[in-house]
Amino acid sequence: MTRSDAVEANNYIPKVPEHIECSIEKTLEVIGGKWSFLVLRELFEGTKRFGELQRQIRTISPKSLSDTLRHLEASGILERHAYPTVPVTVEYTLTPKGQDLHQILHDMKLWAAKWT
Question: How many CA atoms within 13 Å lie on the side-chain side of 25?
Answer: 10
Residue 3: name its binding partner from DNA, a copy of itself, none (Cβ under 5 to 8 Å by kind): DNA
What is the x/- site pattern for DNA, positions 68-107, by CB under 7 A?
-xx---------x-x----xxxxxx---------------
Q: How far is the CB of 18 from DNA (least distance, A)?
A: 9
Cβ-proximal residues to 92 (8 Å cutoff; 6+ apart), any chain: 43, 47, 48, 49, 50, 53, 69, 78, 79, 80, 81
Residue 87: name its binding partner from DNA, a copy of itself, none (Cβ under 5 to 8 Å by kind): DNA
Let me know: does 53 contact 40? Beta carbons within 8 Å. no
Residue 37: name its binding partner from DNA, a copy of itself, none (Cβ under 5 to 8 Å by kind): a copy of itself
Specify the residue, 26 or 81, whose C-beta has the smaller distance to DNA. 81
Specify the residue, 62 or 89, whose C-beta has the smaller distance to a copy of itself. 62
Q: What distance separates the 2 farthest-apart alpha carbons in the chain?
A: 49
What region, left, alpha or beta, does residue 21 occupy, with left being phi > 0 and alpha being psi -120 to 50 degrees? beta
Determine which helix (DSSP H) or strand (DSSP E) holds 74, and give its type and residue range: helix 62-74
Which residues here bind DNA, judged by CB under 7 A? 1-3, 6, 11-15, 17, 33-35, 49-52, 59-64, 66-67, 69-70, 80, 82, 87-92
